[in-house]
Structure 1
Amino acid sequence: MSESPVSIAILVYPETTASVVYGMLDLFRSAGRDWPVVTEGRPGPELMRPWLVARETGALEICNGARLFPECRLDDCPPADIVCVPEVSLPPDAPLAGRYAPEIAWLGARYADGALLATACSGAMLLAEAGLLDGCEATTHWAWCEALAERFPRVRVQPRRALVASGAGQRLVMAGGGTSWMDLALYLIARSVGLEAAMQVARVNLIDWHQVGQQPFARLASTRQVEDAVIARCQVWIAEHYVEPNPVSAMVGLSGLAERTFKRRFRQATGMAPLEYVQALRLEEAKQMLETTDNPIEAVANEAGYEDAGYFSRLFRRQVGLTPGQYRRRFGALRQTLAAAGMA
């Protein structure tokens, strides 16, 4: 365990949220300090020293009208053991080139100095822009994974994983979407000041590790494209007819194209093979039914277009990372709670 507090610079910019920035800061501050408060009635020593860094100091307005107050400028920031990069709250197709040039240059310099760089959610895009992820495994928010893979083909994107440590000495650490920033904070605490400190922070704050990854939380990210009108018409049709038998053959017929040509153009337009697209639509419908109904798994499979419930369960487990029953227990709990309160 480190004798002096581990120094952590949290990079901030207008396109981020206070919950992630201050959430990470709170967990880092908690390490070593709060467990003795709960168990012994006195604070323990703070094991980590986080601060906020930005292009300029002073009030910084970020997403949702919140304000942050960075403590130091990029140019004046003291050396840090760890640099954390929160999410970039922009659409996945938003161009980033040139938008964060000072931050990207600063990240590259900190990495060269030996710091560990850790990103939450779409913050991984800044590491990719800096060229630090070339040849490395990486993850980001599930809705950004496709954009990361397309823009940076040398990056080995791992969309199912909620946490990836990569690069030389595993000094590039990336968390997936949403609250997986908590996983990131716990990992950094465990790695820098000890596993027990991380477990104590998790216990005090009631944090569950996202061991199933982020795929169970993902939705079909590919929206209907409009560049290829023939394929777009087929997408509209399949959205209403995905339960029909032989849907790919039906789309081929609807398109008027040769089967090989249709499959090539479909993949080119959507990024997915036709059957893969159909399976994704069916599984999204199954997710909705598992979340909102008490229908037996066999009935859910049938309504989603699968006559063989066993095959459906195996496919669901392979694609989602949970069995249908596990998914229902995890994501149907909110509905059940609201129903018990007469709100659903």
Structure 2
Amino acid sequence: MKVQTRAPVRIGILALPETSASVVYGMYDMFMSAGRDWGLIVEGAPGLAPIAPQVVSCHGASFVAANNVRITPHSTLAACVDADVVCVPELMVAPGEPLEGRFREEIECLRRCYADGKILATACSGAILLAEAGLLDGLEATTHWAYCDLMTRRYPSIRVRSHRALVASGDGQRLIMAGGGTSWLDLALYLIARLASVEIAMQTARINLVDWHDAGQQPFARLARTRQVEDAVIARCQAWIAEHYAQASPVAAMVQLSGLPERSFKRRFQQATGMSPMGYVHTLRLEEAKQMLESDHQPIEAIANEVGYEDAGFFSRLFRRNVSLTPAQYRRRFGTMRAALVKV
């Protein structure tokens, strides 16, 4: 008979009305599966569980979370005092939505837990709570790719690593952040490996068919920015370039359209969009190239030419730098996915 040699690691999963039940209970199921289900499948009897998760909320009462799913916590926020790790799932709030005065009790709890030496782990946009708590100042961080610009603007001292699906930061690497969407699976596996063992994490991944996001989250990100700007001149240029990004000398054409001196145009464009005019053109071109790589079988050289690049080698290097995959790798990964979904 297997004997438990040490007490299970206690993990509090913080549930809020703005969280999705799938992430809250997905984390819970993954942690419960660790060490237990492999023995059940391989040996016919459940193995010992090295992790003891529980769902906690501010007041412990049942509530309806995002997507109209009812969550019934095991305990109140006070239970985090006894936990070894506190996990924060994503927050279903729009990028840029005001947060002043919200989540006060949760933020104060996170501050206390970190000061007490606990590990804090966030999924997706949950990292915004760590930023609001001031725990990420001067540190590396990541969050869902759609919130990275917001984090950079709102918390300028944070070094946002938008391309990475997982970042461990802070004293003793006790601040752990996953990127967007299902990268919470990476977070759960990382915690299982760190708190239990790599072998148990691998077993959990095999049982649940979890594939590590080794290329990070950038391949999934939408590169082109659609932020509306208050500068009417620049907004008109944005609308024009959205239809003419493939033409030669696009920045010169926008300068002419704006009626401004070149230096003034570039300065105002940067101020309005957060990007240089040519950087903006590149993002539009690469986003269109991604769609073409997914949906048709043209040679990569032809796609490069169609979106505005005569030099296919330059296009491939630029694509790799911004998407973290080569065009061919992107086509294999997402073109195959799209084709399979079309057949369903």
TM-score (norm: length of structure 2): 0.97
State the 1:335 CA deviation. 2.4
Aligned residue pairs total 341
- Ranges in structure 2 where 5+ consecutive residues have no aligned partner: none
Structure 1 residue 93 and structure 2 residue 96: aligned?
yes
Partner of 1:160: 163
Higher alpha-carbon deviation: 69-78 or 36-45: 69-78
Is 2:264 aligned against 1:261? yes
Distance 1:98 1:2, change over 3 A: farther
User: Measured at CA, do residues 212 and 6 of structure 1 come closer, stay the same or move farther in structure 2, by a change above 3 Å?
Assistant: same
**Distance in structure 1 (CA, Å) of the matches to 2:93 and 2:168:** 24
Shift of 1:80: 0.8
How far apart, in 1, do the equivalents of 2:331 and 2:146 lie? Answer: 22
1:74, 1:208 → 2: CA distance? 32
1:294-344 per-position Cα deviation (integer Å, ceiling 9, x unaligned): 1111111111111111111111111100000100111112222244x3x5x
Asked whether 1:213 is paired with 2:216, we answer yes
Q: Do the aligned residues in 1 keep the contact of 2:56 with 2:79 (CA within 8 Å)? A: no
Q: Do the aligned partners of 1:224 and 1:235 also contact (CA within 8 Å) in 2? A: no
Distance 1:38-1:54 versus aligned 2 partners, 3 A rule: same
Q: Secondary structure at the match of 2:107?
A: helix
Aligned-partner Cα distance in 1 for 2:179–2:79: 30
Find the counterpart in structure 2 of residue 36 from structure 1: 39
Which runs of structure 1 show a deviation greater than 6 angstroms over 4 or more consecutive aligned residues? Answer: none
Cα distance in 1, alignment partners of residues 199 and 292 from structure 2: 40
1:148 aligned to 146, 151, 156, which one?
Answer: 151
What does residue 335 of structure 2 align with? Answer: 332
State the 1:2 CA deviation.
Answer: 7.1
For residues 9 and 66 of structure 2, the distance between their equivalents in structure 1, rounded to whole angstroms, comes to 28
Tell me which residue corresponds to 1:189: 192
Task: Report if the CA contact (8 A) 2:229-2:273 is conserved.
Answer: no
CA contact (8 A) 2:131 2:137 kept: yes
> What secondary structure sits across from 1:7 in the alignment?
strand
Could you tell me the percent identity over the aligned residues?
A: 64
Corresponding residue number in structure 1 for 2:13: 10
d(CA) in 2 for partners of 1:120, 1:76: 20
- Is the contact between residue 2 and residue 193 of structure 1 (CA under 8 Å) also seen in structure 2? no
Match of 2:61 among 58, 63, 85: 58
Q: Which letter maps to 2:145?
A: W
Q: Give 1:311-330 correspondences, 5 Å limit.
A: 311-330=314-333
- The AA in structure 2 aligned to 1:5 is P
How far off its partner does 1:78 sit? Answer: 4.5
Instruction: Output one character per residue of 1:36-76: Cα deviation in whole Å (capped at 9) or x when no partner.
Output: 11211211011100001111223210111101111111235
- 1:214-229 equivalent positions in 2, closer than 5 A: 214-220=217-223, 222-229=225-232
Which residue number in structure 2 is paired with residue 305 of structure 1? 308
Q: Indicate if the aligned counterparts of 1:85 and 1:118 stay in contact, CA closer than 8 A.
A: yes
**Is the 1:224–1:232 Cα contact (8 Å) retained in structure 2?**
no
Contact 2:12 2:79 in 1 (8 A): no
Counterpart amino acid of residue 286 in structure 2: L
Could you report, residue by residue, the CA deviation over 1:85-124 in whole angstroms, capped at 9, with x for unpaired residues? 0101111110112110010001101111111000000100
Return the offset for 1:77: 4.4
Q: SS in structure 2 opposite 1:179?
A: helix
CA distance in 2, matches of 1:316, 1:77: 44
Secondary structure of the equivalent of 2:67? helix
Cα distance in 1 for residues equivalent to 2:223 and 2:329: 20
Q: Secondary structure at the match of 2:54?
A: strand
Q: Hey, what's the Cα distance between the residues in 1 that align with 2:254 and 2:233?
A: 10
With 212-221 and 105-114 compared, the bigger mean Cα shift is at 212-221
- C-alpha displacement of 1:224: 3.9
Q: Describe the superposition over 1:275-306 as per-residue Cα deviations: whole angstroms up to 9, x where unpaired.
A: 00000000000000011111111111111111
State how far apart, in whole Å, the 2-side matches of 1:307 and 1:207 are: 40
* Gap change, CA 1:184 and 1:68, over 3 Å in 2: same
The answer for the alignment partner of 1:48 in structure 2 is: 51
Match of 1:102 in 2: 105
Q: Is the 8 A contact 2:60 2:77 kept in 1?
A: no
Residue of structure 1 equivalent to 2:87: 84
Counterpart-to-counterpart distance in 2, 1:86 and 1:335: 28
Task: Verify the 8 A CA contact 2:80 2:113 in the aligned structure 1.
Answer: no
The residue that corresponds to 1:270 in the other structure is 273
Name the SS for the 2:157 alignment partner.
coil
Q: 1:318 and 1:164, CA in 2 relative to 1: closer, same or farther beyond 3 A? A: same
Structure 2 Cα separation of the partners of residues 223 and 144 of structure 1: 14
Q: TM-score, structure 1 length as denominator?
A: 0.97
RMSD: 1.3
Whole-angstrom distance in 1 between the partners of 2:315 and 2:301: 9
State the shift of 1:220 in Å: 2.8
